[in-house]
Amino acid sequence: MSCKNSELKCVFKLLILLLLAWGGISQTNDTWGAEPLEPSLPPAAAATASVPLAPGSTLAPLDTQERQTGYVTREELDASLNKLAIRKGDFTFVPYGYIFASGVYDTCATVPGEVALYSQSKAINGKPLSVVDARPSRFGVRVQGPEIDTLPGYEVNAVFEADFEGLVSVSRNKGGFQLRKANVELNNRERGIRWMFGQDWEVISPLYPQMLSYLPACFAGNIGYRRCQFRRDQKFEISSNCKFLVELAIADDVISDFTSVADATGRSSGLPTFEGRFAVSLGEEARCGLPITVGFSGHYGEQLYNFSGLPGTYVSVGEKDMTVPTWSLNLDVDVPVTERFRIQGEYYVGENLSGFFGGINQGVDLFRRAGIKDRGGWICFHTSMTDKLCNNTGFALDKPDKDSLVGTSLPSGGFTTARTKNELIFTNFMYSWSKALMTGVEFSYILTDYRKANVSGSEPVFSYMEPGETFRTEVAVKYAF
């Protein structure tokens, strides 16, 4: 199948438009459908909780009246935990997880393959790809500890969670262990206070498009991941219909650029990464009476890089200990249009965002020796067609600033390359046979623009490079416990 099949491309985009039009007229009772592989903020309690009430979460909504259908109340959660709990002394252990198996077919090669972060340029690798993989399967344990006399009113909980996506270089049938979460938290529900210490999801940009992909729209407009942090959340209830959430974190500084390039090495500057978010939830503003939630977030950090000279290029002199800031400003929005149809999305601007899944995995320019400015976002339309079947359709974009981007690869024959834009269009159908068993199918279109630069002269000379264009089909089965 040709990577530039224009007829297939037109049919695919027409299908997307028809699905959007269909979803917008749905009016009846809502069921959220399957849980996303990477958890998203609970749509009905987005301003009052920082993680969804799915297995592994430990923060309940401020009150059960905010609950959206498909998310459990505190009472339902406690009842289910009592059935699964393993008790040892004063501690309660609740195991959870799921088995996930998927099969994908790409008309042109993607990176890394089993997960499509972006398309390979046909000039690099335009061959089709098929993958069958079970490494996203995960397991975890929630721990509820005894009350502490010196901390009256606080619950002490912990969570440990892992999957098998840790070593992308090994065979897919030999998945590598990967730590997802490991944290301890102190909750005072009466005062709306939560302290968390350990690895968990970022404070910034907490939403995720509902996709089958293990990394939904990452490096394509959806930024934010997991990292170790010291965190404080504070909820404020102004009225029954207006609530605020303030989240602050001191987080680990993650270096992701040039990790295997001897000519450029990065390290922490000694300054941690600071993250913050302010969200407001308006309880009855939507047509269906569910809360509209809007969040504003951002981060700032610094990294140090040592650059060696690149012989044969216009940057032949090395430089040491260059400070490269990383920052972002972010907006997240959740709007339930009806009880059956809702819209979620995010937008961001920033610089040096590869460690946050931005910049199409490019944070620092190898030739400018400075951070790459970036902007992007995504929008997802969710439609619950029946109590068991749902559809998610969306668009995502990651667009680094060309003026701050020369190249991120070592020169070959005097040329370097860079990715300048990454677009994603997707639609999926998820069917829940039961609370445990879900099957799904997803169709996506990924277009990644490239640019090459001749760096052998006194300044870079840019030229066209064939883009990467991929049509992806994915089927998946998930069995949760």
Residue 33 maps to which CATH number?
Answer: 2.40.160.10
Residue 335 within any structural domain of the chain? yes
DSSP assignment of 246-257: EEEEEE-----T
State pLDDT tens for residues 350-391: 999 999 999 999 999 999 999 999 999 999 999 999 999 999
Name 481's Cβ contacts closer than 8 Å, sequence gap at least 6: 95, 96, 97, 98, 436
State pLDDT tens for residues 381-401: 999 999 999 999 999 999 999
Residue 118 within any structural domain of the chain? yes
Q: Is the pTM of this model over 0.95?
A: no
Residue 1 within any structural domain of the chain? no
* Dihedral angle sign, alpha carbons of residues 208, 211, 214, 218: negative
What whole-number distance in Å separates Cα of residue 164 and Cα of residue 96?
15
Does the pLDDT at position 402 exceed 90? Answer: yes
Domain count, the chain: 1
Name 383's Cβ contacts closer than 8 Å, sequence gap at least 6: 19, 22, 23, 26, 340, 341, 390, 391, 392, 393
What whole-number distance in Å separates Cα of residue 261 and Cα of residue 9?
37
Do the bridges between strand 370-371 and strand 373-384 make them parallel or antiparallel, or are there none, so unpaired? unpaired
State pLDDT tens for residues 10-59: 444 444 444 444 443 333 333 222 333 333 333 323 332 332 323 222 22
Residue 57 within any structural domain of the chain? yes
What whole-number distance in Å separates Cα of residue 336 and Cα of residue 323?
43
* Percent of the chain predicted with pLDDT > 70: 81
pLDDT at 79: 62
State pLDDT tens for residues 72-102: 455 665 666 566 788 888 899 999 999 999 9
Domain that holds residue 315: 6-480
Residue 452 within any structural domain of the chain? yes
- Return the structure tokens found at 71: 């998310």
DSSP 176: B
As to burial, measured by CB atoms within 10 angstroms (0-12 exposed, 13-18 middle, 19+ buried), residue 215 is buried
Q: What is the mean pLDDT of residues 227-238?
A: 95
* Dihedral angle sign, alpha carbons of residues 186, 144, 99, 210: negative
